[in-house]
Homo-oligomer: A and B are copies of this chain.
Amino acid sequence: MILILKPNPDKEKIEKLMQHIKDRGLSINYSEGARTTILGLLGDTSGIDQADFEVFDIVERVQRVSEPFKQVNRKMHPEDTIIEVAGKKIGAGYFNVFAGPCSVESEQQILEVAERVKAAGASFLRGGAFKPRTSPYSFQGLEADGLKLLLEAKRQTGMPIVTEIMSEKHLDLFADVDIIQLGARNMQNFMLLKELGRSNKPILLKRGLSATMEEFLMAAEYIFAGGNHNVMLCERGIRTFETMIRNNLDISAVPLVKMLTHLPIIIDPSHAAGKREMVAPLSRSAIAAGADGLMIEVHNNPECALCDGAQSLNIPMFDDVMTDIKRRVEFENRELQTRI
């Protein structure tokens, strides 16, 4: 962290500021240029806010020079993390497809989808039981009953499940869920992050719609700080000024995540664009960019889906996409995880 001082700072105030810095256990590199004086802070500044020093009236600006995330930082852990779930590996070249409906609607629906996505090569069944909906008047998911249907589908098909949690109060209900998803809108629900940090479940952490990369990794750091190191990241499109598509897939997040952290990164092409026609091209670009997996919405009857039908593939479309994915994962010398 460096402090850039205002021009011609008062000497006494500099003394006072430097004492304040030393009191926090940091040492100082003092640099006086012709126009700018800079104090470089040496020591562990990860728990310090820039605002703590900006309050001093001789300070013009504070800039961080090292990343505030520690345990998820690749500098601290150079090798890729591999997360093992239900007999399959995620990360470091092991490629997984999570597929299933936006929301669980009935036993017949979830069973059919589970069998079909398994047959097509997906390794995990996704499905929403608790649904975060913009409108209180929209279908909110089958909730606890939806979870039961997912677990029944798991029992019958052997497909492990990933589903979203929306409240700390529900954690007990998720005891038999294989991967707990934390949704984009809850990425900075810090109480829930802490609770998930105390659990031992693998967590799929979705990036907030406007979360910076640093905030995204700090959310993962919250889970690590609680003791849970089984975190996979999921980029699902960011909010920009564009209105023709729902969100813009941030493809550069893939190489950026690979540089900054050791965690796996999954791409959700369904939410990214909100248009079914774009699932295939975005999936291709994600594989080529180096993603560790894809999360794809599939419905046995999208025209009657209770939510987000427009972005769901039907079964034959998903079969085609999976055929393409297999060729591409092989081309990249990565290993597709399947349950067939």
Interface residues of A (CB under 8 A from B): 2, 4, 7, 20, 29, 31, 33-36, 38, 40, 42-43, 46-47, 49-56, 61, 63, 65-66, 68, 70, 75, 132-138, 166-169, 185-186, 188-194, 197, 209-210, 212-215, 218, 221-222, 225-226, 238-245, 248-252, 254-256, 259, 272-278, 281-282, 284-290, 302-303, 305, 307-312, 328, 331
Contact = CB atoms under 8 A, between A and B. Distances in A.
Given A33-B40, A136-B193, 18 more contacts: A2-B2, A2-B38, A35-B75, A36-B65, A40-B40, A49-B138, A52-B305, A63-B63, A136-B194, A136-B218, A185-B189, A238-B248, A240-B240, A248-B250, A248-B252, A251-B282, A254-B285, A255-B281
Nearest to A280: B255
Contacts of A134: 68, 188, 215, 218
B288 A7 contact: no
A46 B43 CA distance: 30
B225 A137 contact: yes
A305 B55 contact: yes
A309 B52 contact: yes
A68 B35 CA distance: 12
B256 A51 contact: no
B240 A49 contact: no
Given A132-B190, A189-B189, A240 B242 contact: no
Contacts of A254: 281, 285
Contacts of A192: 167
A136 B42 contact: no
21 contacts: A2-B2, A35-B75, A36-B65, A36-B66, A47-B137, A47-B138, A49-B138, A49-B307, A132-B188, A136-B194, A136-B222, A136-B225, A136-B226, A168-B169, A186-B188, A238-B248, A241-B241, A245-B256, A252-B282, A255-B282, A285-B289
B34 A31 contact: no
Contact of A303 (B29, B56, B66, B197): B56
Contacts of A218: 134-136
A194 to B, nearest CB: 8
Contacts of A36: 65-66
A278 B63 CA distance: 19
A306 to B, nearest CB: 8
A256 B241 contact: no
A221 B55 contact: no
Nearest to A165: B191
Contacts of A166: 189-191
A43 B286 CA distance: 41
B302 A55 contact: yes
B249 A54 contact: no
A249 B61 CA distance: 20
A255 B244 CA distance: 12
Nearest to A63: B63
A20 B256 CA distance: 28
Contacts of A275: 54
A243 B215 CA distance: 11
A42 B242 CA distance: 26
